[in-house]
Every structure is written in C-alpha cells, then in structure tokens.
Amino acid sequence: MTGKPVKGVLVLMRHGETEQNTRYVMTGRMDVPLNATGEAQARAAGELDKAYSSSLSRAFNTASLALKEAGQKIAVEKRDDLMEADGGAYTGRGIESDPEVAKFVKLRCYNTAPPGGESDKDVVARVRKFYETEVLPRLQRGENVLVVSHSGTTRAFDIVLGLEKEPADNAKRPRRFIDNATPGVHEFENDVCVKSYDIPNPKSRRAPPPPKAA
C-alpha cells in the first residue's frame, strides 16, 4: 500500500506596478519603487511557509506588503538569483519609443542578449539552479513557497516548471503577458506540477497590450 502523496504549493508573483511599467521602460536591474497602484496591488495579494523575493526593492516590498496584509509573520529572503534580466546598455530606455531597443525586442531570440546584458536563456539557467536547490526540496517536504520577482524571471519559471518547452537557441520565444501582483499558483504532488492557475488581483488595472502586426 502506497502512502499519501506529498503536496506542496509554489506561488509565483511579479512585483506591483511602478511608474516605469506604465511608461514601458526597460527597467532591468534599476531599483525603482512601487507606485501607489503597485502598493495597493501588493496588499490585495498574499498567503504561506517560506517567502523569497528578488533583491530589488519593488519585488521585496511587494512580498512584504502581501504577507503583512495576509497576517503572515514570515520573513522574506532576498535573492539575487531572482533579479530581473539584466538589460545591459538598454536599461532605462523605452521599449517602444527608443528605435534601437524596439528593434532588439522585435528580433530577440532565446539566446539573444542586449549589449552587456542577459538573454532569456541566461535567466532560465539561474532560475533553474535556484529552483532545484532552494524551492524543489521545500515542495518535496510539502511546504508552500512564495516567490516574488519580475516578468522575465516569472517567464523563466514557465520553462523550468515544464509549462513551456525550452526554445532552440536562435528561435523566437512567445512572451506571455505577466500582470503586476497577480499570483500564479502551481500545485505539486510528489515533485510533479499537477495544476496551475492564476488568482486575479482586484487592484489590477492593466490589460495585456494588443498584439502588433508582424
């Protein structure tokens, strides 16, 4: 007779809104604060055993506000592994308004990095290492884990968790829209993710941008 399955939950969440988000700036590793909407979004999310965040303040403060609102008195552990993709020379520049950055974004492939920055492949590699060494052992013990980071690292988890097939190096990668402070819940049984779903944030005011013509 087999024992009961070990169940754990991983909650992934992007930080709350910043002014740079509203202006479509490639924020990268700029340490910018949450705006008022972002703080409200963070307070509307939240619950858990262990909490991690990116070491950038917008992610750490989102995690802290969410846990405080949920009445959970657990510390948030900052990790550089969860920082946003390094935008290199394009950091702080407009994703749509700067022609050089717009061209990079349009042509970017899985292994393409901005000058002095990171590719999606680079981000997946460091997120995978963090997941395998920090998160997976906790899920195997049946713990519930919160990870608050950024859109780039959240998309990296899609590949790490097997929700998206890893692209070939020179292939274009569809970029799933990640809303601010919207928890993505991944339920595990015996190391296997058996169910994934989002919990809508009532404070969200952004819709995915309309698709552009090729």
Closest CA to 37 of 57, 52, 22, 55: 22
Distance CA 192, CA 187 (A): 8
DSSP single-letter state for residue 4 = P
- Cβ pair 172, 4 in contact under 8 A: no
- Phi and psi at 196, nearest 5°, equal -135, 135
Instruction: Check 19, 39, 77, 84 and give the catalytic one.
Output: 84
Catalytic residue flag (residue 15): yes
Closest CA to 55 of 34, 85, 86, 31: 31
Catalytic residue flag (residue 186): no
Closest CA to 124 of 147, 158, 168, 150: 158
Reported residue count of the chain is 214
Alpha-carbon torsion 86, 78, 43, 123, what sign? positive
- One-letter amino acid at 49 equals D
**Residues assigned a catalytic role:** 15, 84
